[in-house]
Amino acid sequence: MLFEGLTSAHVADACLRAGVPVRTASLTAVVGGRVAGRVLPAQHVGSVDVFLEAFESAEDGDVLVVDNGGRRDEACVGDLVALEAKAAGLAGIVIWGLHRDTVDITAIGLPVFSLGAMPTGPLRLDPQPDDALSTATIGDWTVSRDDVVLGDEDGVVFVPADSVDEVTGLAVSIRDTEHRQAGEIRAGRSLREQVRFAEYLTARATDPSLTFRQHLRAVRGAIEE
């Protein structure tokens, strides 16, 4: 399974270490708590037909990523879209905008992430751009079918599909290091002792340009990346 056993935080830190752009957005899980899969982009312009068209080319496990410009004045995904997405084999929906029909979406059980809920649907119908089914902008980031997405309780992170193996390997290393550090704290060995923080302070006094991140890399600590 994609990013199995990893959190969005692990993957975001791994992107930083790999030199891959850290593309994240603060979205909340309506239901499901976690979703991972290839991006299926769709730009919403006021009608659900763009979603239905996207489903025509969907593959099992894809995640519908909806670009509604982060609008707070309308919901763009409701229960019928969620139900159709589930029937089409999608793994979930990520919305840069609002949803509605929360009770029904919860009952459907398909993971859905959004900026929040509103009862009002779209009251507009704008022209559909030529790239409505090839790209979606989420926050500061534009994603496509060449990307995968992981969403959990901390939000969502996007990773280029061709970097998934490298990022996953680094994320596993970061996760294991942090789990070991947490275990040692619980056993009575402070994090400061583990990362040799006193040594860092001494070294920084001699070389003010030394960063804590550089020190962590030297001692193989992973609390910042």
- What tokens appear for 159 in the block? 């990773």
Please check if 78 is assigned to a binding site.
Answer: yes
Please check if 101 is assigned to a binding site.
Answer: yes
Checking if the pLDDT of 210 tops 80, the result is: yes
Please check if 100 is assigned to a binding site.
Answer: yes
| Domain locations along the chain | 8-161, 167-219
Checking if the pLDDT of 224 tops 80, the result is: no
Read off the pLDDT of residues 153-195 as tens digits, 9 standing for 90 and up: 999 999 999 999 999 999 999 999 899 999 999 999 999 999 8
Predicted local confidence at residue 206, as pLDDT: 95
Please check if 80 is assigned to a binding site.
Answer: yes
Please check if 40 is assigned to a binding site.
Answer: no
Read off the pLDDT of residues 115-129 as tens digits, 9 standing for 90 and up: 999 999 999 999 999
| Model pTM score | 0.92
Residues 6+ apart with CB under 8 A from 179: none
Question: Which CATH number is 8-161's, of 3.40.50.720, 3.50.30.40, 3.10.350.10, 3.40.30.10?
Answer: 3.50.30.40
Read off the pLDDT of residues 64-115 as tens digits, 9 standing for 90 and up: 999 999 999 999 999 999 999 999 999 999 999 999 999 999 999 999 999 9
Terminus-to-terminus CA distance in the chain, angstroms? 23
d(CA 97, CA 183): 39
Predicted local confidence at residue 223, as pLDDT: 57
